[in-house]
Amino acid sequence: MGLTFAQKVLARSAGLSSVEIGQIVTVHPRHLLTHDNTAAIIGKIGEELEQYGIADPDQPVIVLDHISPARDTASAEAHRRVREFIARFDLRHFFDIGEGICHQVMLERGLAPPGEIVVGSDSHTCTYGAVGAFATGIDRTEAAALLLTGETWLKVPPTIKVLLSGSLPAWVTAKDLVLKLIGLIGADGASYQAVEYHGDIDKLGIDERITISNMGVEMGAKIAVFPVDDLTLDFLKKTGCSRTESQLIWADSDATYERVVDFGLDEVEPVVALPGAVDDVVCAGRVSGTKVDQVLIGTCTNGRLSDLQAAADILKGRHIADTVRLLVLPSSRGVFEAAIADGTISDLSIAGAVILPPGCGPCLGAHMGVLAPGEVCLSTANRNFKGRMGTPEAQIYLGSPLTAATTALTGVITDPREVVEPAAMDRLRSGGER
């Protein structure tokens, strides 16, 4: 009987010849990601760190991104404690403020190798499934234990196979695809389970796969993984991630699945998630005309170069509505610099956007760009929970960068097909990592 990706990776990592679904195994993850919460994590184990040191100094990757740059004295002190910790234990994988959102940094720096286990004290660690890593989120206490022991336990999950077929129509993006899929599967539909993407994945660029894997946790998934193909190998080469045996791990064709979901790409339309729940997904047209106070384009979900280019292609030579604020949040320094070099940033700025430094801040209401009670935001982020952007009395819709850009242009939620120019779409379809 064939094996799933999760079974193969977990058996290999645990040093076992095979593992059963539901079995609990002890593993030594290749990397442990922590971010601003490193300060709280090391605060739990100050004495133990002095006594026992760090179990595997090559394992931790630390990125300051959530409140970046520091918001107030408390966050500045937290950052300082993290920098002192890095120096004290001479850790090599440290990225200070401005380098980018942790998940983008992990990918760009080749720290999420395919076929290997990466855990992170952030729920969107599942993002690295886009390049074939077994990547999943854990809590701070577990991250603290990992610093001391290098090990943790994982339960071998059952797997949902999502079989993609066809290709996305014009005006439709990977964000629409994954929102529609989450609407179909439900916010807990993949709980405790792995999600494997199969089928016509060659139609999806790396940036698009990253958006899709990033949102895996919004359907409850432990991992959301794509197979490694030539596109992945090109991407990995650029990031300095050397070729290894583990890159070749993928599910057997006769693996046993909990469920197979057939998903046609041709039928996807521009959609939005309604405020309060990521799985409450409707066609953008159904809420078109809804007045919006703020639009956020960026984050670890949609802050890559192709996302910013898509927005700029719509906004270039135009100006956003005077009733709306547009925030642009590139996902890394690399993305930011590339978007400066090709004119994307100036196009967006001239159109009225406020460009924020790479980081997480407004997405979770932690820093910059928070909302006032009663305000409405359309965001390209991954969560629209009540209170997410600072106040429970604000409303957050989720959509694609195209929907966000057209909404910024009109000041009301707008299906991008109503205003987008064909030339812009042509460039989008051939752009990014595609």
Partner 1 sequence: MKVWRYGDNVNTDQLFPGKHTYTCSTSEEILPHLLEDLDPSFASSVKPGDVIVAGKNFGCGSSREQPALGLKAAGLAGIVAESFARIFYRAAINQGLVLVELPEAVAAWRESDEITIEPAAGVIHVGDRSFQVPPLPEMLLSIRDAGGLLPAVRARLEIERRTENHD
Per CB under 8 A, residues contacting partner 1 are 24, 36-37, 39-40, 43-45, 48, 51-52, 66-67, 74-75, 78, 120-123, 125, 137-142, 144-145, 148-149, 153, 155, 187-188, 191-192, 217, 220, 222, 277, 364-366, 370, 383, 385-388, 390, 392
Contact status, residue 183 vs residue 281, Cβ threshold 8 Å:
yes
Q: Shortest approach of partner 1 to residue 143 CB, angstroms?
A: 9
Classify the C-alpha dihedral 212-429-290-361 as positive or negative.
Answer: positive
Q: Shortest approach of partner 1 to residue 158 CB, angstroms?
A: 12
Residue type, 236: L
In sequence order, what DSSP letters do the residues of 18-76 get, joined into one string?
A: ---TT-EEEE--SEEEE-TTHHHHHHHSHHHHHHH--S-TTSEEEE--TT-S--SHHHH
How far is it, in rounded angstroms, from Cα 68 to Cα 361?
A: 7
Nearer to partner 1, 147 or 206 (CB): 147
Nearer to partner 1, 120 or 205 (CB): 120
Q: Shortest approach of partner 1 to residue 16 CB, angstroms?
A: 15
Residue 213: CB atoms within 10 Å: 29
Nearer to partner 1, 138 or 310 (CB): 138
Q: Shortest approach of partner 1 to residue 325 CB, angstroms?
A: 19
Nearer to partner 1, 149 or 239 (CB): 149
Contact status, residue 399 vs residue 277, Cβ threshold 8 Å:
no
Nearer to partner 1, 100 or 137 (CB): 137
Query: Which alpha helices (H) appear in 253-319, and where do they start and end?
Result: 299-302, 305-315
Nearer to partner 1, 75 or 403 (CB): 75
Q: Shortest approach of partner 1 to residue 276 CB, angstroms?
A: 9
Q: Shortest approach of partner 1 to residue 222 CB, angstroms?
A: 6
Cis-peptide into 158, omega within 30 deg: no
CB within 8 A of 111, min separation 6: which ones?
31, 33, 61, 93, 105, 118, 241
